[in-house]
């Protein structure tokens, strides 16, 4: 994208000089000047080819799972013009970028449920590792109003877990995957009202997201297993993501006007061999749209559907129900293992349009590390918006590919730590 716009004037100069040489109109005293231009143009063309090749190859960024749990989830967030999901209580996947000159490392939650890229800014009580615009040679302010970008008039970004962050919008140079830099990336610099996050990397559909600003039309990620104490994952863009189109299942992405979320059409749910009596009409938007989100840990459904899942699961496993609130604050359907191996749990299937997404016990049973008990990793939707969400726990050990040119989502089993 950057290479060709910079090289066109020099290619034009080179062509003009070649015509002049062929017409024998040059005097010998300007020959050194011509040779200089020829060498300069050749060097720029060579550099452009290198940058273009890097762009075509795409990028690879390592993801690291982290635990952000800090108490009860706020189920009644304050109203705002745009309220992004981020209903994560626990496991999230972090990516790191370098921003500014001299570069400062930005660590943020990879979040397909929002758009804004933001990081904590340095202040008098902050840490030196946070971004300080006054120390960057490449920082510049954005003078468009915040509501132009979907923030409220006070430049505050709101999330569904109750978090909000007031930001100053700026433009910076960003370094991705240690391979290429991108100039003029719009991001927010500020202080969140809660201390949970150092930053969030929005990966949604709208213009402020990382994917939109890099002009990437295909990206994918693999989220490592939370049962692995040193879990990592990977984010791929461009041709690196396209190369994963082998033995995949594919379902359409449903576009909703002026929304950044990625919707896929949920047709039904099975527990083991039993298909529950729910259809796509039981979900929030037309055609059974369910948001797939990397920035939400658990899966959100209507309470009655969660109850149906729990009843069928308990009937098939004969586990003992638990009312121990310490198993996990906020998860309702819990049980004691009594020697039960979650690998024996029935396969749960989410029937999306054209595909079946099969979930082993690891992907829907949240358990304490001591293994004494577990809970079904479902939470009830907020009655105000009733958004169904397919959380990142259900996406473990899968390569998930977002293709925005063809408006499809693909997935396949993968060992994400090996990429």
Annotated active-site residue 384? The verdict is no
Q: Is residue 186 within 8 Å of residue 170, measured between CB atoms?
A: yes
- Cis preceding-peptide flag for 133 (omega within 30 of 0): no
Distance CA 66, CA 63 (A): 10
Cα 179 off chain centre by:
20
Q: Within 379-418, where are the H helices?
A: none
Of residues 111, 115, 160, 198, which has the active-site annotation? 111
Of residues 115, 160, 293, 403, which has the active-site annotation? 293
How many CB atoms neighbour CB 207 within 10 A?
13
Q: For the chain, report the end-to-end CA distance as a whole number of angstroms.
A: 27
Tokens standing for residue 327: 């198993």
Strand runs labelled E in 281-324: 289-292, 299-301, 320-322
Tokens standing for residue 171: 């433009």
Annotated active-site residue 293? The verdict is yes
Catalytic residues: 111, 293
């Amino acid at each position: 994208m950057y290479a060709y716009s910079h090289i066109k004037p020099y290619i034009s100069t080179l062509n003009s000089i070649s015509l002049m040489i062929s017409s024998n109109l040059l005097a010998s005293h300007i020959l050194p000047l011509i040779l200089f231009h020829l060498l300069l143009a050749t060097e720029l063309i060579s550099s452009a080819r290198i940058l273009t090749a890097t762009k075509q190859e795409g990028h690879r960024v390592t993801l690291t799972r982290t635990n952000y749990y800090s108490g009860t989830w706020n189920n009644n967030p304050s109203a705002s013009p745009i309220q992004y999901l981020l209903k994560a209580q626990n496991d999230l996947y972090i990516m790191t970028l370098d921003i500014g000159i001299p570069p400062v490392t930005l660590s943020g939650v990879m979040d397909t449920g929002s758009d804004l890229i933001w990081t904590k800014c340095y202040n008098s009580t902050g840490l030196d590792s946070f971004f300080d615009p006054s120390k960057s040679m490449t920082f510049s302010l954005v003078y468009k109003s915040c509501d132009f970008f979907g923030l409220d008039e006070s430049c505050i970004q709101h999330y569904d877990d109750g978090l909000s962050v007031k930001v100053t919008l700026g433009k910076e140079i960003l370094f991705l995957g240690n391979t290429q830099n991108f100039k003029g990336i719009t991001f927010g610099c500020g202080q969140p009202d809660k201390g949970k996050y150092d930053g969030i990397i929005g990966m949604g559909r709208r213009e402020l997201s990382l994917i939109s600003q890099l002009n990437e039309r295909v990206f994918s990620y693999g989220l490592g297993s939370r049962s692995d104490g040193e879990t990592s994952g990977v984010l791929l863009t461009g041709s690196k993501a396209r190369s994963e189109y082998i033995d995949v299942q594919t379902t359409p992405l449903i576009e909703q006007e002026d929304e950044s979320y990625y919707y896929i059409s949920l047709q039904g749910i099975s527990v083991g061999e039993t298909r529950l009596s729910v259809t796509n009409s039981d979900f929030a938007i037309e055609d059974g749209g369910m948001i797939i989100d990397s920035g939400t840990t658990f899966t959100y459904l209507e309470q009655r559907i969660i109850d149906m899942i729990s009843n069928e699961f308990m009937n098939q496993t004969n586990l003992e129900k638990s009312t121990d609130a310490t198993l996990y604050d906020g998860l309702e359907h819990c049980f004691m293992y009594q020697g039960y191996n979650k690998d024996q749990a029935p396969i749960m299937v989410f029937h999306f349009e054209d595909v079946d997404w099969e979930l082993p016990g690891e992907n829907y049973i949240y358990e304490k590390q001591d293994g004494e008990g577990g809970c079904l990793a479902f939470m009830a939707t907020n009655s105000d918006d009733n958004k169904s969400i397919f959380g990142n726990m259900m996406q473990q050990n899968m390569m998930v590919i977002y293709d925005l040119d063809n408006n499809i989502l693909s997935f396949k089993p993968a060992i994400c730590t090996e990429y």
